[in-house]
Amino acid sequence: MPFDLVRATINGGSGAPTDLRHFGIDVRGAGACAGTRLATTFDGVTMPSPERTMDLVRDGRLIRVDRRGVATAIAGELVERPIAAAAGLPLLGRLHAGAPAVYAQGRGFGLVLDNGTLWRVPDGGIAAGNDSPLREIAPAQWDAYPRGSSLGG
């Protein structure tokens, strides 16, 4: 785990800090990528998947997203190479291009993964970017969906 440190340094004989100096250190063996910490460490990160799609780490599982632009919009961070430790996370489902998108008054916007779970998204723009037809539903229909957490801001 890399850390960048900046600290005040004393330059000359005055004894007072007069300059800043950059130091870098690597912490090894912290276990940030091991066991249950992996899911917390990488929650919200998206990366290329082995299937030429994107994998999003969310709630300790992977969501495979067909469109890179959508994955980037709903992720907290994009990494350009797969994280090897994340390959062992279970696959929750897939967000296909054109997947159903729903809106319910007082509930918001959501996308339906291929496993039938509804995941809240911040606005209808993500649905549009996924070419997902947006359908308004009653709040009771929204509440009847099995739900994941939220995707994006």
C-alpha–C-alpha distance, residues 109 and 19, integer Å: 51
Mean pLDDT, rounded, for 105-129:
94
* Domain residue spans of the chain: 1-30, 101-150
- Residue 1 pLDDT grade (very low, low, confident, very high; cuts 50, 70, 90): low
Tell me which residue of 51, 53, 49 sits closest to 89, measured CA to CA. Answer: 49
Q: Name the average pLDDT for the chain.
A: 86
Structure tokens at 135: 């359908």
pTM recorded for the entire structure: 0.74
Tell me which residue of 57, 60, 63, 61 sits closest to 44, measured CA to CA. Answer: 57
Per the listing, tokens 């809106």 go with 103
Return the percentage of the chain with pLDDT > 90, whole number.
Answer: 58
pLDDT tens digits, one per residue of 12-33: 666 676 677 777 776 666 555 5
Residues 49 and 64 sit within 8 Å (Cβ to Cβ): yes
